[in-house]
Amino acid sequence: MPSQRPRAFLSYRHTEHEAGADIDAHSERHRAWVAKFAADLRSNGVDVFFDQDLRDIFAARTTKDPWLIAFLGEMASICPFICHTFIPILTPSYIERLGYGGYENKGATDWSFVLEEWHYGMQLVNGGAMNYVPVIRAGEFERYEALPLGVGPDTAFDMMDPTHYDWQVGIIAKMMLHVWDGGDPLIGCDLPEFVDLYMGWCREKGGPRATLPVEEWKADAVYTRMFFDAIMSRFR
């Protein structure tokens, strides 16, 4: 389906179930903030995707709790392919997965699909196929100099202080609308169509995914990397 509005993918990380009830509550507040941010961007004329939209899609396609489907993380990692703008929401738990910010060396962190989202999103940004709007959501100011390359107070939206939130949301939406040329993203389909496209592609590769229901698929970055190579080979 042709794009009717510019699309953004919100990449974020939560840390629930890692350190008890306090972390769960913190993660729930952060997820609620991300959901409000998405809703406010939509009200300003931008289409937005994030993992909650995937959960809503899978809720209608499986009897299993979508939160427990490992494949969702894999699916989320390639959502930048159908968007015009990559918006990473940088928090300490997000940054540590990238190995930045002095939080923890990347080699010592658990591998996660947040890192995959970052890699795919930034490859498309660096290749000129996406725009890039980093948002700083939480963290200490003294660690700004160790944020991902090119991200800092002068190059990102610092949204830790809610005082200017409405103004910042409006500016981000205006930026996206201004640079959008009316064309489609790298893959010109909506999110449900993209889910079906990728699932069908995975089944065609054979192996366990050819016969198992999706709720039993184990998350596997090999599939996303093969898919990325297949997509990019069209432009070589």
pLDDT higher at 6 or 153 = 6
CA-to-CA dists, residue 127 to 5, 114, 146, angstroms: 22, 20, 24
How confident is the model at residue 227, as a pLDDT? Answer: 93
How close are the terminal C-alpha atoms of the chain, in Å? 24
How confident is the model at residue 44, as a pLDDT? Answer: 96
Locate the domains of the chain by residue range: 7-235
pLDDT higher at 203 or 139 = 203
Q: pLDDT band at residue 147, thresholds of 50, 70 and 90?
A: low
pLDDT higher at 64 or 15 = 64
CATH number of 7-235: 3.40.50.10140
CA-to-CA dists, residue 100 to 10, 68, 149, 151, 196, angstroms: 19, 28, 9, 11, 34
Q: Give the mean pLDDT of 57-69.
A: 83
Q: Give the mean pLDDT of 28-48.
A: 91
Q: Give the mean pLDDT of 191-201.
A: 94
How confident is the model at residue 102, as a pLDDT? Answer: 45
Q: pLDDT band at residue 30, thresholds of 50, 70 and 90?
A: confident
Check whether 97 has a pLDDT greater than 80.
no
pTM of the model: 0.84
pLDDT higher at 113 or 144 = 113
How confident is the model at residue 174, as a pLDDT? Answer: 94
Check whether 197 has a pLDDT greater than 70.
yes
Q: Give the mean pLDDT of 173-184.
A: 90
Burial class (CB in 10 A: 0-12, 13-18, 19+), 32: exposed
Q: Give the mean pLDDT of 45-72.
A: 87
